[in-house]
Amino acid sequence: MTTIHVQQTPHLFGTLQAPGSKSYTHRAIIAAALSRGWSELRYPLICDDTWVTLEACQDLGARFKKEKNSIWIQGSQLIAPNEPIDC
């Protein structure tokens, strides 16, 4: 068994990247798709559900591009397509 001792320190500093949230990622994608210009979503949670949301927004007229730790979304006046959207 390993024992770890933590001592009190007057200063604590550092950086932590919290895991992405699927619900926040969905909301941010939709908000960006409804906005004018380009929006950058940093460290989104990428999973099947969020890809479907991106593709649904693309079907409505938004554009997106994936970079290393970001998704860039160009909003537009969303237009209802003639075909059903996979949600």
pLDDT digit string, tens, across residues 47-85: 999 999 999 999 999 999 999 999 999 998 878 888 888
Enumerate long-range contacts of 62-66, CB under 8 Å, 24 or more apart.
62/32, 62/33
pTM summary value: 0.76
Rounded to the nearest integer, the mean pLDDT of the chain is 88
Predicted pLDDT of residue 42: 92
Span 3-24, pLDDT tens digits: 877 788 888 777 767 778 999 9
Rounded to whole angstroms, how far apart are CA atoms 44 and 4?
33
Predicted pLDDT of residue 76: 84
Residue 32, helix vs strand vs coil: helix
User: Between the CA atoms of 10, 15, 17 and 18, what dihedral angle is there, to the nearest 10 degrees?
Assistant: 20
Predicted pLDDT of residue 15: 75
Task: Determine the distance from the C-alpha atom of residue 39 to the mean position of all C-alpha atoms in its chain, rounded to a whole number.
Answer: 10
Rounded to whole angstroms, how far apart are CA atoms 63 and 75?
7
